Structure 1
Amino acid sequence: MTSEDRGTPATPTGPAWFMANEVVAFVVELAALAALAWWGFATGDSVAARLLLGIGAPVVAAVVWGMFAAPRARFRPPLVGVLLVKAVVLGCGVYAVHAVGHSGAAVFFGVVVVVNTGLAETFRRRAVSAA
Structure 2
Amino acid sequence: MTLPPRLHAINEGLAFLIEIAALAVLAWWGWQSVESRVLGLLVAVAAPAAAAVLWGMFAAPRARIPVPLPGVLVVKAVVFGAASAALYAMGHVSWAAVAVVVAVANTALATLDRRAAMHRQA
The alignment's TM-score, normalised by the length of structure 1, stands at: 0.88
Aligned to 1:20: 10
Give percent identity, aligned residues only: 49
Task: Give 1:101 deviation, angstroms.
Answer: 1.1
Aligned to 1:100: 90
Task: Give 1:69 deviation, angstroms.
Answer: 0.3
Name structure 2 gaps, 5 residues minimum.
Answer: none
Task: Look up the SS of the partner of 1:74 in the other structure.
Answer: coil
> Matches of 1:93 and 1:102 in 2, distance apart?
11
| Bigger fraction of residues in helix | 2
Would you say how many aligned residue pairs link Structure 1 and Structure 2? 121
Structure number, greater radius of gyration: 1
| Aligned with residue 43 of structure 1, among 33, 56, 60 | 33
**Which structure exhibits the higher relative contact order, with contacts defined as CA atoms closer than 8 Å and separated by 6 or more residues?**
2
1:43-62 matches, within 5 Å, as 43-62=33-52
| Aligned with residue 76 of structure 2, among 75, 86, 95 | 86
The alignment's TM-score, normalised by the length of structure 2, stands at: 0.95
Aligned to 1:117: 107
Aligned to 1:5: none
Name structure 1 gaps, 5 residues minimum.
Answer: 1-11
Q: Structure 1 stretches (4+) deviating beyond 6 angstroms?
A: none
